[in-house]
A and B are shown apart, each in its own frame.
Chain A
Amino acid sequence: MPRLVGRRLLAALPVLFIVSLLTFGVTLLVPGDPAVTLAGENATPEQVDQTRERLGLNDPIYVQYGRWLGGALQGDLGESLYDQRPVVDSILERVPVTFGLAVLAVLFAAALAIPSGVISATRRGSIWDRAITLVSSAGVAIPNYFLGMLLILLFAFGLGWLPAVGYVPFTESPGDWFLHLLLPALCLGVAGWAEITRQIRSAMIQELEQDYARTATAKGLRRRAVIFKHAAKNASVPAITVTGLQVAYLFGGTVIIERMFGIPGLGQFAISAVYVRDIPVIQGVVIVATVVVIVTNLIVDTLYPLLNPKVRPA
């Protein structure tokens, strides 16, 4: 096991290196003189020179990259051009907010996807299967923010059960925290739910057609036992992979959902930085989000052999 983890980590290194290269390269995309853009619209020539000096833009590009990477490895992602605060501090402040939202979204998605996937696989072609397939197709197609607006209209404006926007930290009041995150997490989780449901459905159908499932049924095992003890265990492997892959999309989703619902998380932070073109902040968020995605995939890859001995290396 430790050897496997080591090998995966080693394989992730070149990817991480290129990710850092590309993230740093964002600065190079800024058209014209980056110092002019980065100093802001109303900067005087002196301020532009200062910016150039401060950011070391006179140095050769590889020196700039080396400095940036060196900093990043030590947890220094530079300062915001907007409020001069260290990017890392601002990110760390917001991570718990986004983390809570994302965990709730994944929990919703998985908790709903397991029954819906199993039901549609075991009753293939039934009205339930059709309904679930239809709703999950719609779930992938509907923009989550549109769904968010509909839910706000219904639950906040119409029924008045839930707050429309805003955020309360968990440490202040767990109940209010949950109520404020309920709608956003639902919106965020819908696409994941649809994706995981589809995956569970097709994996379960495949497993139930296998010889071992037929044997289990033939030797008189109850259907429930065949489904949950045998098929579900094997079908869970691809389902977990898909759940892991959802994390990348979740990060994108939080940007819009946090902005819409006024949740002060990483996504909201990123989008405000884009408006003022605060490149160091963007780079910081990009690198943190991407590393989280890579680590998640690494964890999923490592879980794989635990669940499915067939792929366990000899």
Chain B
Amino acid sequence: MTTKNAATGTATGPEPRSGGPERRLHAGAIRRMVRRFRRQRAPMVALGFLALLVLSVVAAPLISPYDPLEQHLAAVLQGPSAEYWFGTDELGRDLFSRVLDGGRVSLLGAVQALVVGLAIGLPLGLLAGYFSGVTDMIVMRFTDALMSFPPLVMMLAIVAALGPNLTNAMLALGVVFAPRFIRLVRGVVLALREEPYIEAARSIGVAAPSIIVRHIIPNALPPLIVQVSLATGFAILAEASLSFLGLGVQPPQASWGSMLSQGFSSLGQSPTMIVFPGVAIALTVLACNVVGDGLRESIGREVRSE
């Protein structure tokens, strides 16, 4: 809701000085972040691209010229044409429709992984930061250990144990994200804990959950949003990697990663098959990173960790 207000309530031009320090003081951290973000060109373009992408994969059934699973055996391994915009695969399936459909799988997978990562990372980070002491020590040692596993190798181990499918793969990715979120949230909490207003709240007897929800979480949000947007890019790459290895999405369903692996086996006959899913991954990840960098630039110095 805050975001919406900020979006409608701000001018696109430079911040008007006449607004006075008073108004700026009351604007939330998120509102200031949105305002600064909107002034940057590349991140705004990247955000626009991502919005368009999400819209088109959601509306895929309406946009797709063909059913992504429908086989046109008279037209296998074709290059791009007016009939099949991105060409066809070895079963004559329309690649444009499949890229759209695969995009939904890739993006949903990324969301799943982020939700898992946040569900583990947020509460543990809050706990470790707020209560410190033994809780903090135990949580942080586990975090250190988890972070020393090479990410993809850890995912392989989890997928091997649980069995190869997209949900397990994204669960594994969530476990990769968790320690990174724990560290971030803990760091913010540790810094905030010493703030006079938090101390004041504590000393007048405000309960810990209430302090966490009303003061700490809103302040932890901006850096968390930056990390989430950068993690989204990593999630899309990781999903693609696991699906490329055949450990993520299972046929006949496809994601961009599994389409690349399929294209790799017919690289000699139809080199165009790899181009579109590959470019789709690269552009999406690039857009996520650009948005993430833009968001990082937009965080006020007051909450920037460095």
Contacts and interface: CB of A to CB of B under 8 A. Distances in A.
Counting chain A CB atoms within 10 Å of each CB, the highest count among B157, B233, B241 belongs to B157
A140 B237 CA distance: 10
A255 interface: yes
Contact of A31 (B162, B246, B263, B290): B162
A274 B159 contact: yes
Contacts of A251: 150, 152-153
Highest count of chain A CB atoms <10 Å: which of B152, B233, B281: B152
Interface stretch (B59-67, B87-95, B97-105, B141-149): B141-149
Nearest to B257: A143
A21 B159 CA distance: 18
Interface stretch (A224-232, A279-287, A299-307): A279-287
A18 B139 CA distance: 11
B160 A26 contact: yes
B245 A271 contact: yes
Contact of A18 (B145, B260, B267, B285): B145
A256 B242 CA distance: 9
B156 A253 contact: no
Contact of A140 (B144, B145, B162, B289): B289
Given A15-B144, A26-B158, A143 B281 contact: yes
Contacts of A275: 246
Contacts of B267: 149, 152-153, 157
Interface stretch (A54-62, A65-73, A289-297): A289-297
Contact of B286 (A27, A141, A249): A141
B161 A29 contact: yes
B244 to A, nearest CB: 6
Range for the number of chain A residues in contact with chain B:
35 or more
A52 interface: no
Contacts of B274: 146, 149-150
B270 to A, nearest CB: 11
A297 B144 CA distance: 12
Interface in A227-272: 248-253, 255-256, 259-260, 270-271
A297 B263 CA distance: 37
A207 B146 CA distance: 33
Given A141-B282, A149-B278, A255 B156 contact: yes
Given A18-B145, A153-B271, A279-B161, A143 B156 contact: no
Given A255-B156, A256-B244, A138 B286 contact: yes
A250 B257 CA distance: 19
Contacts of A21: 145
A249 B264 contact: no
Interface of A: 14-15, 18-19, 21-23, 26-27, 29-31, 137-138, 140-143, 145-146, 149-150, 152-153, 157, 248-253, 255-256, 259-260, 270-271, 273-275, 277-279, 282-283, 285-286, 289-290, 293-294, 297
5 contacts: A18-B145, A22-B145, A26-B158, A274-B164, A289-B153
Interface of B: 141-142, 144-146, 148-154, 156-164, 233, 237, 240-241, 244-247, 257, 260, 263-264, 267-268, 271, 274, 278, 281-283, 285-286, 289-290
Q: Top 9 nearest A-B pairs by Cβ distance?
A: A252-B152, A18-B145, A29-B161, A146-B278, A251-B150, A141-B286, A141-B285, A274-B160, A248-B150
